[in-house]
Every structure is written in structure tokens, then in C-alpha cells.
């Protein structure tokens, strides 16, 4: 399971339900990988910490703990009570307090930044 912290009980149940409804086939799943696959084409919304997410240095991705967000019933971005470690594989850093689209990389089970809000 990725490093997910501080969820309220209802949020944790929703996430576990979502995780349990998706799986990777054994042929493309690393046995050392996370037990929290999100399936193909699923993503999360997160917000980077005020210090941002560092750029990749050589073959070492940057890493920071980001707050998870959801789109609430009013159609607005709302912070959850959880955070998750997010890797940045880009050669430039992610700005602080920036919305991100994140996904689980399916070979290692690590969560990576896919898209950064540049506006």
C-alpha cells in the first residue's frame, strides 16, 4: 500500500472499495509492488506542498508528500484529510501549492506526478 496517511474513516473505505474493484493481471504485476493498484487510466488529484516536489536528479526522482483532493458534490476541489508520497520523474521541479494529476506506476506501485497545473 502506498504511504497514505490520515484519512477519515469514510474516505478510507471509499479508497479501499475503489482499490479492491480494480486489479492488474499477474503477468504484468511486480510481486514486490504495492497491494494498492488503481487499475488502468485511473488517477488522483493532489496538491503539492508549499516547497513543491523536487526535480529528478539523474535517475533519482524527486519526492514529496502531497495532500489528496477530490471534486466534491458542489463540483469544487476539496482537500481530503489524507496525504500521499508522490514521485516527480521530470527534470524540472513541481511548484509549491500546485494541483497535480497523479497515478500509480504499475511496475513498482509508486505514485508519480503525471500532470502539473501550470496556470
pTM, whole model, 2 decimals?
A: 0.65
pLDDT digits (tens, 9 = 90+) for 7-50: 565 666 566 666 555 444 444 444 444 444 445 557 889 999 99
Alpha-carbon distance 3 to 16, whole Å? 14
CB 69 within 8 A of CB 1: no
Whole-number Cα distances in Å, 104 to 50, 72, 73, 74, 119: 23, 22, 25, 27, 24
- pLDDT for 29 equals 44
Number of structural domains found in the chain:
1
- Per-residue pLDDT tens digits for 94-117: 999 999 999 988 788 888 888 777
Q: Is the pLDDT of residue 6 over 80?
A: no
What's the pLDDT score for residue 12?
61
Query: Residue 33: which domain range?
Result: 4-116
What confidence tens digit (pLDDT) does each residue in 53-109 have? 999 999 999 999 999 999 999 999 999 988 999 999 999 999 999 999 999 887 888
Amino acid at each position: 500500500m502506498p504511504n497514505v496517511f490520515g484519512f477519515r474513516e469514510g474516505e478510507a473505505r471509499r479508497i479501499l472499495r475503489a482499490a479492491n474493484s480494480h486489479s492488474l493481471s499477474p503477468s504484468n504485476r511486480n510481486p514486490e509492488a504495492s497491494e494498492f493498484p488503481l487499475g488502468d487510466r485511473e488517477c488522483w488529484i493532489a496538491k503539492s506542498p508549499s516547497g513543491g516536489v523536487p526535480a529528478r536528479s539523474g535517475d533519482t526522482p524527486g519526492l514529496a508528500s502531497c495532500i489528496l483532493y477530490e471534486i466534491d458534490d458542489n463540483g469544487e476541489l476539496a482537500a481530503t484529510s489524507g496525504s500521499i508520497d508522490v514521485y516527480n520523474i521530470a527534470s524540472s521541479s513541481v511548484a509549491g501549492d500546485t494541483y497535480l494529476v497523479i497515478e500509480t506506476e504499475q511496475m513498482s506501485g509508486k505514485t508519480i506526478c503525471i500532470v502539473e497545473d501550470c496556470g
